[in-house]
Structure 1
């Protein structure tokens, strides 16, 4: 358990967090939820994470929030091993399988499934009960669910969602975009230099 800028986690007494998991910042974890070994639940830079009741966050999953994108996971959700959820809103009873990724500003409706290595992209709205098949990509609002071989179709939907602008506030076409992004992140993450290892 790590505080971040005077914000500390709040864990229900009926929840459990493995000793080798990380829970950092403004994080609330509901009753009956389990954060398993090696999982990382990290709210940075003013962001907040809310995890509901009876959620299971399996080994080495990462759940993150940023100052621009809070993250919420409803009740009765399963977040699989090695999956990644950042700045998204996840409804109740959602299954996020091993290796899946759900990005900033995405909304995943109740009872949806994101299967192994599936992706729900930035600012995408995945309807309740929808399924992203193994390795496929959901992109857009409403979501188009496409196979990975359809890169041009995916990019035509993804490009206007503006990942660098939406996530980092930096114009994709700026000549020093990566320098600006990484310098800002380095400065924001400097707060961790004071943590004990």
Structure 2
């Protein structure tokens, strides 16, 4: 796993986090216990700090970046799905950012919120907790229930287990 210092600031990764060997972390990044960062992810904190809280998972080919000396925070047990862009925002505890979603500067995603696959949360948006945000831009907000609630309830645990399996068995094949 490539970890890069930038202007004297280096990533700090908890020893019980799992970082895929092809993920890249740059600069002022903090990765807490039981986090998993998957293949092809880029976490670039060259213009501010990125904090990924305990139990969160950042899935394949997602990009996290921060600007303007700010702090981008991914809350505990958050799932950031495949190929997401998370830029200079705050994501609340146990939220799920669906595959291909975009969350932009200054947005705040409430706890246990689902940002639907392909949705775009525009700069400065506030998405309330226990809801589903749909659309591009994400203007339709509905209560969290049914299948969406099940995904929010269980996704972090599924990825926590899967990360342990990868940590125990992934090997480079030449």
For normalisation by structure 2, the TM-score amounts to 0.76
| Equivalent residue number for residue 63 of structure 2 | 62
Q: How does 1:167-186 map to 2 (within 5 A)?
A: none
Q: How does 1:20-169 map to 2 (within 5 A)?
A: 20-45=22-47, 47-133=48-134, 135-138=135-138, 144-145=139-140
| Equivalent residue number for residue 7 of structure 1 | 9
Structure with greater strand percent: 2
Query: 5+ unaligned residues in a row in structure 1: which ranges?
Result: 139-143, 147-197
Structure 1 residue 66: Cα displacement: 1.3
Query: 5+ unaligned residues in a row in structure 2: which ranges?
Result: 142-174
Structure 1 residue 67: Cα displacement: 2.3
| Equivalent residue number for residue 164 of structure 2 | none
Structure 1 residue 44: Cα displacement: 1.6
- The 3-state SS of whatever aligns with 2:8 is coil
Structure 1 residue 132: Cα displacement: 1.2
- The 3-state SS of whatever aligns with 2:4 is coil
What is the root-mean-square deviation in Å for CA atoms of aligned residues?
1.3
Structure having greater relative contact order (Cα 8 Å, sep ≥ 6): 2
Q: Count residues with an aligned counterpart.
A: 139
- The 3-state SS of whatever aligns with 2:50 is strand
Larger radius of gyration between Structure 1 and Structure 2: 1
Distance 2:18 2:79 in 1: 15
- Output one character per residue of 1:126-176: Cα deviation in whole Å (capped at 9) or x when no partner: 11112112x4423xxxxx438xxxxxxxxxxxxxxxxxxxxxxxxxxxxxx
| Equivalent residue number for residue 191 of structure 1 | none
Q: Is the 8 A contact 2:89 2:108 kept in 1?
A: yes
Q: Is the 8 A contact 2:32 2:55 kept in 1?
A: yes
Q: Is the 8 A contact 1:3 1:24 kept in 2?
A: yes
Structure 1 residue 68: Cα displacement: 4.4
Distance 1:13 1:113 in 2: 29
Q: Is the 8 A contact 1:69 1:105 kept in 2?
A: no
